[in-house]
Amino acid sequence: MKDLAYRKFLRYGITVALLILAVLHFETIIGWGSTLIAVANPLIVGCVIAYILNILMVRLEKIYFPNSKNKIVLKSRRGVCMVLSLTILVLVVFFVLYLVIPQVVECIVIISKDVPVLLQKIWDFLVDNSDQIPALQEQLVSMDIDWGGIINKVTSGLMTGTKVLLSSSTSIVGYVFGAVTNAVIALIFSMYVLACKEEVATRINRVMKAFMKSEVYNKTIYVLDVVHKSFSNFFVGQATEAVILGTLCTIGMLIIRIPYAGPIGALVGLTALIPVFGGYIGAALGAFMILTVDPKLALVFIIYLLILQQLEGNLIYPRVVGSSIGLPGIWVLAAIMIGSGLGGVVGMLVGVPVSAAAYKLLRDATTKKLQEKGIVVEAADGVVVQTAGSEKHQIRNTKKADDELKAKASENATKGNANKKK
């Protein structure tokens, strides 16, 4: 008994000492952590790539001769599906960039040519009509804008920026080389993880079983399963919704005869990967591109996309994404806002599935606690009442519950009649 108390005291003492050391050397620990993350960054990125590719690879493996018993097919299934998933992802990204980037560059060139002319027309209009407003006329005359001087200043600024860029070319080349090296390492590591994912999962599972208590192990597996389902369902649903929205946008623009239908449709679909706000970002960029051709068509495009967004938000999104993650709309909005503040676009993408997983875990824990206290709890198949004697009754609020109660009542009546006959 004394030995047990001594061990408990020693454990608490070591824990308190480690906490004190962590507080005293907080900055040093943070620095070590940052260095470790920077060194392991290619491996972390590789794991992320492997997880995303695995979502697509699992579905391809179900299509690739699923009932075949041929040894060649069985041995080649993993490799072929892995290469196909990577190829599909790369082709989609290059296709979108191929459609969007040239059109955006063309729009910027057009605007850079038209904006000075437009500014000059506005200035001439103000000068010609300034006699109607004496105060404005005096102000314009006193300004005496030197357009040539402004152009010279802008040109000299661009030249200075170019010289600075050229002087730092060595560091830029080093940064690019490092980024490319890390990308290659991450890609190779992701391929390794995908090729032997079952073996990796088995080894991690054995380590967890060896060093965790059964209760902790079961809870950890449950949490990981919830997180995996939330991320997988979110990415699949969001990608499906983005494809649907981009396709409908392209078809509608072709019918209305709005220019840049293909590039803008691909751009809207790409930005739709960002929950809630993505479609509006794509609408703003698309309107900017159409504005260089015809401002009236840009207005028509905005109206059309707003209508399409309403249809998508009320019909497509709840069925494709909302039901898959099981997260209420207000929590989706909160997750996007917090995620964008913490991690930008990546935070917006990750925030929703993380919030969905946390919401499900909290809901399950709350349901369990309420059932233990004998409080009415809403369940998927009705309202469950947990009494003090641990007896569950189904309240008749669903057809399934009604059928079960009727069957139970009929059984009790049959037993009662049998007892009376005896």
Cα distance between residue 414 and residue 419, in whole Å: 9
Cα distance between residue 256 and residue 300, in whole Å: 9
Find the distance separating the first CA and the last CA of the chain, reported in whole Å.
60
Single out the residue of 243, 222, 226 nearest to residue 327, CA to CA. Answer: 226
Mean pLDDT calculated for residue range 178-187: 86
pLDDT at position 391 over 70: no
Which tokens in the block code for residue 376? Answer: 């009415």
Measured CA distances, 253 to 20, 99, 283, 289, 295 (Å): 63, 15, 12, 13, 15
pLDDT at position 399 over 70: no
CB 82 within 8 A of CB 57: yes
pLDDT score of 159: 61
CB 217 within 8 A of CB 204: no
- The domain spans of the chain are 2-39, 212-371, 377-416
CB 374 within 8 A of CB 385: yes
Of the listed ranges 135-139, 300-304, 322-326, the one predicted with least confidence:
135-139
* Residue 310, amino acid: Q
Name the pLDDT band for 411 (thresholds 50, 70, 90).
Answer: low
pLDDT score of 387: 41
pLDDT score of 282: 83
pLDDT: which is higher, 311 or 2? 311
Question: Number of C-alpha atoms within 13 angstroms, CB side, residue 363?
Answer: 13
Four-point Cα dihedral 288, 293, 297, 298, nearest 10 = 10
Single out the residue of 144, 142, 53 nearest to residue 93, CA to CA. Answer: 53
Strands of the 377-379 sheet, one edge to the other: 377-379, 382-386, 392-394
230: CB partners within 8 A, 6+ apart = 325, 353, 354, 356, 357, 360
pLDDT score of 222: 92
Burial (CB count <10 Å: 0-12, 13-18, 19+), residue 204: exposed
Which tokens in the block code for residue 270? Answer: 């790409």
pLDDT score of 397: 45
pLDDT at position 145 over 60: no
At 184-238, the pLDDT tens digits run 888 888 888 888 888 888 999 999 989 888 888 999 999 999 888 888 888 888 8
How many residues appear in the chain? 422
CB 19 within 8 A of CB 26: no
Q: pTM to 2 decimals?
A: 0.66
Task: For the chain, give the percent of residues with pLDDT over 90.
Answer: 3
Single out the residue of 275, 270, 216, 274 nearest to residue 243, CA to CA. Answer: 270
What is the C-alpha radius of gyration for the chain, rounded to an integer number of angstroms?
32
pLDDT at position 1 over 50: yes
Residue 126's CB: how many other CB atoms inside 10 A? 14
pLDDT score of 131: 60
pLDDT: which is higher, 50 or 118? 50
At 330-346, the pLDDT tens digits run 777 788 788 878 877 77
Single out the residue of 261, 248, 264, 234 nearest to residue 348, CA to CA. Answer: 234
Single out the residue of 308, 276, 271, 273 nearest to residue 286, CA to CA. Answer: 271
Name the pLDDT band for 381 (thresholds 50, 70, 90).
Answer: very low
Cα distance between residue 346 and residue 97, in whole Å: 19
Whether the CA torsion 252, 92, 344, 59 is positive or negative: it is positive
Task: For the chain, give the percent of residues with pLDDT over 70.
Answer: 68
pLDDT: which is higher, 157 or 396? 157
pLDDT score of 268: 86
Strand (E) or helix (H) holding 386? strand 382-386
- Phi and psi of 299, rounded to 5°? -65, -40
pLDDT score of 31: 84
At 222-237, the pLDDT tens digits run 999 988 888 888 888 8
Name the pLDDT band for 179 (thresholds 50, 70, 90).
Answer: confident
pLDDT score of 277: 75
pLDDT score of 374: 76
- What is the DSSP code string of 153-212? HHHHHHHHHHHHHHHTHHHHHHHHHHHHHHHHHHHHHHHHHHHTHHHHHHHHHHHHHHHS
* Residue 173, amino acid: V
- Cross-strand pairs, 378: 383
At 54-80, the pLDDT tens digits run 988 888 888 888 888 888 888 888 888
Cα distance between residue 78 and residue 151, in whole Å: 60
CB 322 within 8 A of CB 265: no
CB 254 within 8 A of CB 261: yes
Of the listed ranges 9-18, 35-44, 159-168, 187-196, the one predicted with least confidence:
159-168
pLDDT at position 249 over 70: yes
pLDDT score of 73: 82
pLDDT score of 390: 40
pLDDT score of 386: 45
